[in-house]
Amino acid sequence: MTRERALAGAAGRRLRAPAASPWIRLRIVVAGVLLLLLLAAVTYRAYGIQVRDGERHKQRAEGQHATRIEVPAPRGVIYDRQGVELAVTADIDSIYADPSRVDDPDGTAAALSEVLAIDVDTVSERLGRDNRFAWISRHVTAQEASEVRALGLPGVALTSEPRRFYPARATTGPVLGFSNIDGEGLDGIELAMDDVLTGVRGELGALRDARGRLAISEPLAAAEPGAALTLTLDRFVQSTTHRALARAVEDHEASAGTAIVLDVETGGVLAMASYPSYDPNEPAAGLAEGARNRAITDAHEPGSILKVFLVAAALDAGAARPDTTFDLDGGRMRIGRNTVRDTYEDDELDVSGIIRRSSNVGSVKLARLLGAEGYEQALRRYGFAARTGIELPGERAGRLRPHGSWRDIEFATLAFGYGMMATPLQLTAALAAVGNEGIYNPPRIVERAVSESGDTLFEREPEGERVMDAEVANAVLPMLASVFYGGPDGGTAQRVHVDGYQAGGKTGTAVKVDHEAGGYHDDKYVASFAGLAPIDDPQLAVLVLIDEPGGDVYYGGHVAGPAFADIVSQTLRYRGVPPAEDADLQQRGAGSPQRPRAPRIPDPRPPIVVENPREQGAGAEGGRKGAGDGGWQMRRMPDLRGMGMARALERAEATCADVEVSGSGAAERQQPAAGTPIPAPTRCRIEFARRGWD
């Protein structure tokens, strides 16, 4: 028993665990607390991700796997007044790549370079970009697209994009303008009406797989095309005008030209052509040559065309009647130190004769009857020195100084079209008012805009405003017709023949201002012709302007007149206006017998000749100072050679007592010679290069 108890006690001592240490208990507690804290942190983080910030993380996840792709919207179609398409949009292939999926960048670049005729380094640079999308070539040809598809290059794909096309090409270039590759208007109607023509881009939803490949889902929003525009332009009239203008510019080796055809009743632009032009499908070459819409961007001194509006203003103010007669003294008139002269040495003309013979002296006398203030008010009323507001970019306002600042000679020159600036469109619109019984319609080129859903966004409303009495406008029409009369006493346009119709018009030939040297150029002119047809019931107002014609012929009737006749004749036939049975009578002077004659070339001498300082009311000596005049101080003759007329005269009049002038243009010779001392009042002489005036 004793032994058994001893064995049992030993076994019990072996099975009983030793007592736990206090440090062990502490470590256990700490570990448990840490586990609880970690679990709490995980729980809090999970709550933040899934509950508190769940929506944000959901959007981020969707952004990694889902995306939105913008779908370009086609621009609105542009139509002419007959519904003929002038600008359309069509889908065309473009080539892009996902650089991350291109297996062989060098080989891919070489293959694409050969097919697309793009420099291989350029293609390599695009394929080496650190993104998932890169354009390789946009708006490729059908042949190029087919060859790229056949290559089957990994990471290279094709997509459709809208592209703008202009079927009329250069015929409508500067008027319609063009848009860039992203469908943004950059010139012409495309720029001015960009907000209306631009549609609303659509969206496609897409998902990316684990490799980043796109899988397009259903559309999220359909693209909405831009609104369609209907213009007042007529493609036939535009084409006719463009051809006639181009022929005139090329035949006369001119630098540029512009032509406008307006609907007299509405002011709508039927044609607006500029030369040089550009093809809106490929505009770069034309723009490099200076092509622009010169009808609104260029302003010139109008020359003798302005006499039409002087006559209308004088008749409207009651300052003269159509039969008021003026003594012209053989076509010469002294104004201070200056003498105004005419091309034809008529002794007497009535108001109609001032238009027919383009008399400068008669215009000055008529303007004096009207008065400077009345003349300025009339010109502004007819739309000069203000933008017309036509729906085209870049329009200039022209320039007309207030009458209070006009000197006597400036008032005189303004009577025959010098001293102010006007755009071709302003001149044509003012002439249309004469043909519309005195009602001025601001010229417009947009008729209406209609959305894709058929809603009318814009439609032109009549804006006519009476600017002259109807009887006055009707009285001016036969005066314009007389410009075409033949015979020794005929008009300045007697060489111009409008086939089948009687027209009325006015010639203009002006020397261009030399803005750099001052004064005028010695060999640069603007030849123009503006008119109405048919003259008994005007429907068209037409202006043709040829800038810097070359050669010895640079007069408005010779250079611009034939283009005017061609445009009018073809347009009236196209519009269904029956030819006049007595159209040929116009060339005979309202039915008077046609006399055989050689065409008369206008005298190219200038209308202003500075001869001596006799002011109005001076005595026989003309105010000329004698040698003993104590007011004279010794001077030296300046060097005038190469100066324009205005600048040379200003310098000479400050030095000489008398200045005699011959010719026009740049000063070539002078007496006394430059540097010669002038101790007493002296007559000086300046010889200029010759220039032509209408």
Active site residues: 304
Token code pair at residue 594: 């046609």
Burial of 499 (0-12, 13-18, 19+ CB in 10 A): middle
Angle 247-252-255 (CA atoms, 0-180°, nearest 5)? 90
Q: What share of the chain is helix, strand, coil (3-state, %, to 5)?
A: 35, 25, 40
Residue carrying structure tokens 């040698």: 627
* Euclidean distance between CA atoms 657 and 669, whole angstroms: 18
Task: Determine the residue type at 295.
Answer: A
Q: Which two tokens stand for residue 73?
A: 């919207």
Nearest Cα neighbor of 652 from 665, 635, 627, 664 is 635
**Pairing of the two strands 256-263 and 456-459:** unpaired
d(CA 225, CA 452): 6
Within 13 A of 627's CA, how many CA atoms are on the CB side?
2
Tokens found for residue 632 = 């004279």
Helix-helix angle 360-370:408-415, to 10 degrees: 110
Structure tokens of 231? 């213009």
The C-alpha torsion from 600 through 606 and 612 to 615, rounded to 10°, is: 100
Tokens representing 644 are 């324009």
Residue 431: what are its φ and ψ, rounded to 5°? -65, -35
Q: Is 641 helix (H, G, I), strand (E, B) or coil?
A: coil
* Structure tokens that stand for 122 in this block: 């350029």
Side-chain-facing half-sphere of 269: CA atoms under 13 Å: 31
Q: Which residue has the tokens 């309202």?
A: 590
| The amino acid at 196 | V
Sign (positive or negative) of CA dihedral 130, 132, 133, 134: positive
SS3 650: helix
Which residue blocks in 16-104 are alpha helix, DSSP H? 22-47, 54-65
State the Cα–Cα distance between residues 24 and 640, nearest whole angstrom.
118
Two structure tokens written together for 442: 């601001």
Task: Return the closest-CA partner of residue 554 out of 498, 513, 514, 510.
Answer: 510
Q: Which of 450, 472, 495, 489 is nearest to 589 (CA)?
A: 489
Residues contacting residue 419 through CB under 8 Å, at least 6 positions apart: 301, 401, 406, 410, 413
| Residues 6 or more apart whose Cβ sits within 8 Å of residue 235 | 80, 82, 84, 86, 168, 171, 172
With beta carbons less than 8 A apart as the criterion, state whether 340 and 360 touch.
yes
Burial 465-480, CB ≥16 within 10 A → b, else e: eebbbeebbebbbebb
The answer to whether the peptide bond before residue 534 is cis (omega within 30 degrees of 0) is yes
Cis peptide before 219 (omega within 30 of 0): no
Lookup result for tokens 């111009």: 496
Alpha-carbon separation of residue 682 from 610, 636, 648, 660 (angstroms): 15, 11, 16, 11
Q: How far is residue 560's CA from residue 493's CA, in Å, rounded to a whole number?
A: 10
